[in-house]
Amino acid sequence: MNTSDMTTAPDLKSWVESANAADNEFPIQNLPFGRFRRDSNSDWLIGVAIGDQVLDLRKAKLIDTIDMNHLMASTSDERRRLRLAISEGLRHGSAQQAAFASALVPQDQVELGLPCQIGDYTDFYTGIHHATTVGKLFRPDNPLMPNYKWVPIGYHGRASSIGASGQQFHRPRGQTKGPDDPAPSLGPSRRMDYELELGIFVARQNALGDPVTMEQAEEHVFGLALLNDWSARDIQAWEYQPLGPFLAKNFATTVSPWIVTMEALAPFRIPFQRPAGDPAPLPYLDSALNRAAGGIDIKLEVWLQTEAMQKSKLAPQLLTTSNYSDAYWTVAQLIAHHTVNGCNLQSGDLLGSGTLSGAAADQGGSLLELTLGGKQALTLSNGEKRTFLEDGDTVILRGYCEKPGARRIGFGECRGTLQGVRK
Based on the fold, state whether residues 184 and 304 are members of the same structural domain: yes
- Cα 404 from Cα 386, distance rounded (Å): 37
Cβ atoms within 10 Å of 59's Cβ, excluding its own: 16
Write down the pTM of the prediction.
Answer: 0.94
- Alpha-carbon span 190 to 180, nearest angstrom: 17
Q: Are residues 133 and 176 in the same domain?
A: yes
Phi, psi of 407 (to 5 degrees): -80, 135
Q: Is 195 annotated as a binding residue?
A: yes
330 assigned to a ligand binding site: no
User: Residue 3 — very low, low, confident or very high, per pLDDT cuts 50/70/90?
Assistant: low
The closest of 408, 407, 413 to 12, measured between CA atoms, is 407
In terms of phi and psi (left: phi > 0; alpha: psi -120 to 50; beta: otherwise), the region of 372 is left
Find out whether 139 is annotated in a ligand binding site. Answer: yes
The per-residue pLDDT for range 137-162, each reduced to its tens digit, is 878 888 887 888 888 888 888 899 99
In Å, the largest CA–CA distance within the chain is: 74
Q: For residue 356, is it within any domain?
A: yes
Instruction: Confirm whether residue 387 is marked as ligand binding.
Output: no
Residue 104 lies in a domain: yes
**Residue 379 is labelled as binding a ligand:** no
Active site residues: 130
Establish whether the linkage from the previous residue to 242 is cis, with ω within 30° of 0.
yes
pLDDT single digits (tens) 233-259: 999 999 987 778 899 999 999 999 999
Residue 1 counted as domain residue: no
What is the spatial order of strands in the sheet that 104-106 belongs to? Answer: 104-106, 53-56, 45-50, 33-37, 111-112
The pLDDT of residue 281 is 94
Question: Does the annotation flag 35 for ligand binding?
Answer: no
301 is in an annotated binding site: no
Mean pLDDT of 352-376: 96
Per the annotation, does 355 bind a ligand? yes
Q: Which of 91, 112, 133 is the last residue of a domain?
A: 112
Q: Which domain holds residue 326?
A: 121-419
Q: H or E segment at 303?
A: strand 299-305
Do 187 and 142 reside in the same domain of the chain?
yes
Please report whether residue 408 resides in a domain.
Answer: yes
Q: How far apart are CA 391 and CA 370, in angstroms?
A: 19
* Gap between the Cα atoms of 186 and 390, Å rounded: 19
Flag whether pLDDT at 84 surpasses 90: yes
Residues in the chain: 423
Structural domain count, the chain: 2
Q: Which of 65, 82, 112 is the last residue of a domain?
A: 112
What is the rounded distance in angstroms from the CA atom of residue 253 to the CA atom of residue 324? Answer: 19
**What is the Cα–Cα distance from 222 to 344, expressed in whole angstroms?**
16
Q: Return the SS3 of 414.
A: strand
Rg of the Cα atoms in the chain: 21
Q: What percent of the chain has pLDDT over 90?
A: 86
Alpha-carbon distance of 72 to 118, in angstroms, equals: 12
| Averaged pLDDT score across all residues of the chain | 95
Is 96 labelled as part of a ligand binding site?
Answer: no
67, β-bridge pairs: none
pLDDT per position as a tens digit, 258-280: 999 999 999 999 999 999 999 99
- 415 within a domain of the structure (yes/no): yes
* Cα 194–Cα 130–Cα 213 angle in degrees, nearest 5: 100
Whether 332 and 290 have beta carbons less than 8 Å apart is answered as: yes
CB neighbours of residue 47 within 10 Å: 30
Could you tell me if 104 and 51 lie in one domain? yes
First-to-last C-alpha distance (Å) of the chain? 50
Categorize the per-residue pLDDT at 1 as very low, low, confident or very high, splitting at 50, 70 and 90. low
C-beta of residue 406 within 8 angstroms of C-beta of residue 267:
yes
Q: Are residues 89 and 143 in the same domain?
A: no
CATH number, domain of 225, equals 3.90.850.10
Check residue 150 and give its pLDDT.
87
By the 8 A CB rule, do 201 and 229 touch? no
- CATH of residue 91's domain is 2.30.30.230
Q: Please provide residue 130's backbone torsions phi and psi, each rounded to the nearest 5 degrees.
A: -65, -50
